[in-house]
Structure 1
């Protein structure tokens, strides 16, 4: 059973900590309690930590630049438990309308892994730090400034 854990805003990790990565192929409209509803991206990530491993579901609300992190609540000690939690997490996000793809983290080239760590919202400490969110905020500022200058000309 996966539940929202408000303490998490992102899952920054290094290459060695990531055990599994699944990415959504689509961006369905989802409603998350306490968040603005809208299109979302889903990530299922298995991470190794100091006290074992864990599987996380990270939902990134694209338009809001916000996220929700779901945790299973148990620390994984074996490969079988990791697969079980991964399967549960995939079933959970698929029930929300996501179509998931296994990124095959371990088989990916180190360069590809580094690229994912630098670009996927799940690996940022805070969703507002995601480059796309920063670019959208800058674009909105530019549009507002341009519109303000246009209206001031009259």
Structure 2
């Protein structure tokens, strides 16, 4: 039902387009075909388009600053089909080990919705543009090693 579409690097949307948003509360280690293995975050995003409704699965690989976007077999679903697709998407990511939480996007105040649109990786055109993504894991390890070295040399 869902398949990876390499053309998608993100799912930029405006507030009015977002029907639902689920976010993982854990980060299991995944091996996605064609991507480096590592911890991942999952997002299930329901969007309203001009032709109907669609559910997308977005997996964010923070260490690699990469993503995988799973698209549904049908992009313009009816309301009833949309609900079935959303349930299937949640089942799919839960089968990979993700524990999902409903962000209740539609019930949030507009300011909080805008904040989510600006901070969550799923809404960026490219995962390399996500705030904080510029620091690589190697840089973090180097900084930690440098700080540890300075601490030990102070004795």
**Same fold, judged at TM 0.5 (above):** yes
SS in 2 for 1:54: strand
Tell me which residue corresponds to 2:133: 133
- Matched with 1:152 is none
The aligned counterpart of 1:53 is 53
The residue that corresponds to 1:151 in the other structure is: none
For normalisation by structure 2, the TM-score amounts to: 0.86
> What number of residue pairs does the alignment pair up?
145
Matched, 1:62 2:68: no
Distance 1:101 1:82 in 2: 18
Q: What CA distance in whole angstroms lies between the structure 2 residues aligned with 1:53 and 1:80?
A: 10
Q: Normalising to structure 1: TM-score of the pair?
A: 0.87
- 2:53/2:79 contact within 8 Å kept: no
Task: Give CA deviations for 1:130-151 in whole Å, capped at 9, x if unaligned.
Answer: 00202x14x939x58xx7xxxx
Over residues 60-96 of structure 1, what are the superposed CA-to-partner deviations in whole Å (9 max), with x where a residue is unaligned?
0010010000011203443221111000000000000
**Matched ranges for 1:2-151 at <5 A:** 2-134=2-134, 136-137=135-136, 140=139
CA distance in 2, matches of 1:104, 1:73: 25
The 1-side partners of 2:63 and 2:96 are apart by 18
Does the residue aligned with 1:43 lie in a helix, a strand or coil? strand
Q: Hey, what's the Cα distance between the residues in 2 that align with 1:110 and 1:25?
A: 23
Secondary structure at 1:57 match in 2: strand
Show structure 2 runs of 5+ residues with no match: 147-155
1:150 aligns with none
Deviation, structure 1 residue 101? 0.5
CA drift of 1:126 comes to 0.3
- Unpaired runs of at least 5, structure 1: 148-154
